[in-house]
Amino acid sequence: MGQQPDNQAATITGSGYDAWLSYPKLPQGNLYKQYVKWCRAAVSVTEEQDTVQAALREWQRGITSMLDIESESGAEPAADGFTVAFGTFHGGNPLIEAIFDEAAIQAVGPEGFAVRTSLTHKCIAVGASSPAGVLYGVFHLLRLIGSQKEIERLDETVNPVNALRMINHWDNFDGSVERGYSGRSFLYENNRFTDDLDRITDYARLMSTAGINAIAINNVNVHALETLFISTYLPDVARIADVFRIYGIRLFLSVNFAGPMHEGEVGTADPLDAGVREWWKKKAAEIYAVVPDFGGFVVKADSENRPGPFTYGRDHADGANMLAEALEPFGGIVIWRCFVYNCKQDWRDRKTDRARAAYDHFKPLDGKFHDNVILQIKNGPMDFQVREPVSPLFGALEQTNQVIEFQIAQEYTGQQRHVCYLVPQWKEIMEFDTLAKGGAAPVKHIVDGSLWGNRFSGVAAVSNVGNDLNWTGHLLAQANLYGFGRLAWNPELSAEEIAAEWISLTFGTDAAVAGVISRILLDSWEIYESYTAPLGVGWMINPEHHYGPNVDGYEYSQWGTYHYADHQGIGVDRTVATGTGYSAQYMGSNAQRYDSLEECPDELLLFFHHVPYTHVLNSGKTVIQHIYDTHFAGAERADGLLAAWSGLKGSIAEGLYAQVEERLRGQAAHSKEWRDQINTYFYRKSGIEDSGARKIY
């Protein structure tokens, strides 16, 4: 933890501020003795480079906290000769050079690392090609110890699967956070940058240990003053970049496509205008002069009233390529979001389908983007719903760099007031087989670049952090933040493995405690879905703030656009024969399966089909009975989450226990509101009684 004022120390203790870097003290036993044997007294670090020194500080902090021992750089080895060493392969550390041969060195990528226990040298060594790799390796070794894994026979080479592992902040310069559920921004307040670099340092530590290497620090909906981040406020941007750099993180900025007009220097933002192109080239040079490792621009254009190339009769490739040309000499990239749809269209027309928009806009442009442009595609065709299909753009773009965009912020999944562990959802999406290239083509192999051989690829997500002491409002929502980073680093990790890591590093290694928290996390997505969104409909939330049940309330659903419920049935017809034709955007058997009423999976039935309430699901239940049953069961299971957590009282720190209990108590009550409103609405709409004769108002 960064240096905190004395008067905050008591407040921070037990708040969850340290998150998965709290380094809980480990229990006595054989493993404890093993760790002490290897880690006491000496750590061999010869490089003064800032990132390597940050790794050293982290090692010392972790070992002191977990094992109650001091580990000093340059000290003599313990009496029995055991030591730990880390550094870059050619950084001058004789132990690193002795333990790692050329074959081991060649196997490690730019951000990867190797960890090896050498009995000959009585040394556990962490070696890497870069300082960032050293830092990741030290975090890995601390994670192994914190999770009580063996370290006496280590021989691992670990490289990140995805090159770009990015967090998108939606923080505004006034200190507010769009879709922020964890307090206000810790980056800005009242149109100025924060002076609290200690907290930003702690944030960078948390992100680095989860494997994040890129952060966009401002909202994609760029406001007037934020347009000046690339000019007036560049010195402040540079201060944050200086902190991020130490932890292997490149800073990105969201930019306003109409920036040349907002600053009054050019009277247009036409991407083919010579003056506009020169303006952006000049801005890029100014940025790189003060932030030499600047990552690039994130752009939201021509969507939800944001300016873009459509104003000038240009397309997205024209706009993105103009910015790419400005950044290319410096190694920068443009991340161009594919969340583009016409929010002013007539939603009463049942042939109007927002789900089609991203594919319709970007599929025709495949191959027209410069090779330092990355399209950022939301995981589904809509907007981070609790259940929706995978975006058909994955697999459809064969010649374009792309990253998948998740939303860690729980905008439609309980807003961090309800627990909803999203890693199982993300895993399901990453494993989805697009059937591209005529064979197995899961999303994870598209976004890691291996399927099409993309120059740039990776994973991005909307941040869920704020200035709340525990970072995420709901303590258990930290598992989503940590889990996103770990999944981006290695999509082969299971949701169970990631949850187990986070629990051990946050709460300690008590098996009974871990079992309860793991079950809460792993059940939570299914529970949340069951009392909110039946069979892939979604959107039945209050307008604007998107919290709480309101079946017809979403801002674009005045006519039932997102569920088309009437007295006969429910669902959106997206079939080819009678609907919007959206199902045809998928490939092969996926298109056939979604288009077929008989083959469509139950959980997405109402996303693709309009059916009578009496339609029988694959489960054997009717649609209306499924709605009743899941909403009753979901509220009951939400009560069960609270009961399970209550059993942990006295087994974990009171501060941690109390804040989660308060959130789960609220969730249990709110789930009943969801149950009653949804069931009542559809009972009155359909006139069909619940077969269980339960009370529906």
**CATH number of the domain that residue 153 is part of:** 3.30.379.10
| Two structure tokens written together for 462 | 């909307």
pLDDT tens digits, one per residue of 552-576: 887 655 444 578 999 999 999 999 9
Same domain (yes/no): 377, 475: yes
Catalytic residue among 150, 304, 398, 662: 304
411 included as an active-site residue: yes
Domain-embedded: residue 31: yes
Per-residue burial over 410-445, b = 16 or more CB atoms within 10 Å of its CB, e = otherwise: bbbbbbbbbbbbbbbbbbebbebbbbbeeeebbbbb
- 430, 461 Cβ separation under 8 angstroms: no
For the chain, the residue count is 697
- 336: helix, strand or coil: strand
| Two structure tokens written together for 42 | 């000496």
- 371, 399 Cβ separation under 8 angstroms: no
492 included as an active-site residue: no
Query: Which of 493, 517, 545 is the last residue before a domain boundary?
Result: 493
Same domain (yes/no): 77, 63: yes
Same domain (yes/no): 515, 471: no
Closest to 19 in 3D by CA, of 418, 419, 481, 499:
481
- Contacts of 548 by beta carbon, 8 Å cutoff, 6+ apart: 541, 542, 670, 673, 674
Domain-embedded: residue 595: no
Same domain (yes/no): 424, 563: no
Domain-embedded: residue 169: yes
- Per-residue confidence (pLDDT) for residue 10, from 0 to 100: 42
Same domain (yes/no): 221, 349: yes
Domain-embedded: residue 596: no
Query: Which of 158, 183, 210 is the last residue before a domain boundary?
Result: 158
pLDDT tens digits, one per residue of 434-447: 999 988 999 999 99
The model's pTM is: 0.96
Catalytic residue among 58, 270, 302, 383: 383
Same domain (yes/no): 276, 329: yes
Domain-embedded: residue 137: yes
Same domain (yes/no): 425, 568: no
Domain-embedded: residue 584: no
**CATH number of the domain that residue 392 is part of:** 3.20.20.80
Domain-embedded: residue 131: yes
- Per-residue confidence (pLDDT) for residue 94, from 0 to 100: 95
Same domain (yes/no): 131, 227: no
Same domain (yes/no): 189, 153: no
Listed as ranges, residues in the chain with pLDDT below 70 are 1-13, 74-79, 342-351, 555-561
- 527, 637 Cβ separation under 8 angstroms: yes
304 included as an active-site residue: yes
Catalytic residue among 315, 411, 448, 573: 411
- 586, 594 Cβ separation under 8 angstroms: yes
Query: Which of 493, 509, 534 is the last residue before a domain boundary?
Result: 493
- Per-residue confidence (pLDDT) for residue 685, from 0 to 100: 95
Domain-embedded: residue 582: no
Same domain (yes/no): 149, 173: no
Whole-number Å distance between alpha carbons of 573 and 546: 24
Same domain (yes/no): 456, 502: no
Domain count, the chain: 3
**What residue numbers bound the domain in which 368 lies?**
164-493
Same domain (yes/no): 488, 549: no
